[in-house]
Amino acid sequence: MIRYEIEGGNLPVVICYPEAGQALCTESGAMSWMSPNMKMDTNTGGGIKKAFGRMFSGESIFMNEFTAVGASGMIAFASSFPGSIIPYQVTEGNGIVVQKRGFLAMEKGLELSVYFQKKLGKGFFGGEGFIMQKITGNGLVFIEIDGYCKEYQLGSGESIIVDTGYLAAMSESCTMDIQTVKGAKNIFFGGEGLFHTRITGPGKVYIQSMPVINTAKALTPYLNINSDNNDRNGINIRFGE
C-alpha cells in the first residue's frame, strides 16, 4: 500500500509517497505538486467506453497516471472545496459508491466506473444524483467530502435517513431508497422537501456536513452577477446587495 499523509485541516491535501514503480491515477488536472521523478501518462483509463462512462459521472474523459521512476517519489492532490479527504481501502466485494466528482485519486489497478441508480425515482428525487461513481478492485482510493465527514457503520438491515445532498459515499454493500416526507404541513412548511434518502446496511456510510450545492444556494442572495460591456471581463460581482 502506498504511504500517505493528509494535511491542511479544513483545506485538505493528501501527500502520497509511492515507491519506485508504484503508480496513482487521478482525473485530469487534479495533481497539485510532485517530485521530479514522477512520470505522467495521460490515457483513457481502460478504453473509450469507460472514458465516456466517467464523463457521465462527472469526471473528465482522460485520466492521468503518475508513476515513481528510479526511486520513491512524492505527489500531492488537494481538495477542490473546503472539507475532508478520506482514504478507503477497496477490496474484492468491498467497493465504494461516491457522489459525482467525489473521486480524487486512487492506486493503479482500481477501476472507476459509472454507477446508475436502479430506479429512476432514486436519482431524480433523492438528491444524490441519478448517476454516481463506483470504485472497485484492490487498492487505496481517496475521496473528497464537502465539509466535515461523519462516518456510520450500519449493521445488516440497519438504516439511516439522509437529507438531500448530504450523502457523500457508501459501501457497495449498502442499498439506497427514497422515502417520501409524510404530512402536508411537513411538506409545505417543514423546509425539508418532498423526499429523503434512506440508506440501509450492512456497510459504511459517509455523510458530509456542507454539500457544495447548499453552500452555493446560501451565497446566492449575496452575489449579483450582471453582464457589463464596460467591464473588462464582462462580469460584475457585487457583494452585500
What is 117-132 written as a DSSP string? -SSHHHHHHSSS-SEE
Give the span between the Cα atoms of 64 and 62, in whole angstroms: 7
Map out the domains of the chain as residue ranges: 3-233
Grade residue 84 by pLDDT with cuts at 50, 70 and 90: very high
Return the C-alpha torsion angle 61, 86, 80, 1, nearest 10.
-60
Inform me whether the pLDDT recorded for 156 exceeds 90: yes
Inform me whether the pLDDT recorded for 66 exceeds 80: yes
Nearest to 39 by CA among 61, 76, 62, 70: 70
Grade residue 226 by pLDDT with cuts at 50, 70 and 90: low
- pLDDT for the residue numbered 118: 56
**Which of 66-75, 99-108, 121-130 has the highest average model confidence (pLDDT)?**
66-75
Scanning the structure block, which residue is given the C-alpha cell 431508497? 177
**Mean pLDDT value across residues 151-180:** 90
Beta bridge partners, 133, equal: 98, 114
Between 184 and 113, the more confident residue is 113
- pLDDT for the residue numbered 151: 96
Lowest-confidence pick of 35-39, 72-76, 140-144, 162-166: 162-166
What does the pLDDT look like over 194-204, one tens digit per residue?
Answer: 577 889 999 99
SS3 call for 202: coil
What does the pLDDT look like over 86-99, one tens digit per residue?
Answer: 999 999 989 999 98
- Count CA within 13 A, CB hemisphere, residue 18: 26
Three cell numbers written together for 223: 452575489
Give the span between the Cα atoms of 16 and 139, in whole angstroms: 14
Nearest to 199 by CA among 155, 162, 148: 162
Percentage of the chain lying above the pLDDT 70 cut: 73
**DSSP code at position 108:** B
Interacting residues of 189 by C-beta distance below 8 A, sequence separation 6+: none
**Mean pLDDT value across residues 72-83:** 95
| Alpha carbon of residue 112 to chain centroid | 12
pLDDT averaged over the chain? 81
**Mean pLDDT value across residues 25-30:** 87
- pLDDT for the residue numbered 97: 95
Domain at 3-233: CATH code: 3.60.160.10
**Which of 56-70, 136-150, 227-241 has the highest average model confidence (pLDDT)?**
136-150
Lowest-confidence pick of 81-85, 110-114, 147-151, 183-187: 183-187
Grade residue 67 by pLDDT with cuts at 50, 70 and 90: very high
Give the span between the Cα atoms of 47 and 56, in whole angstroms: 15
SS3 call for 187: helix
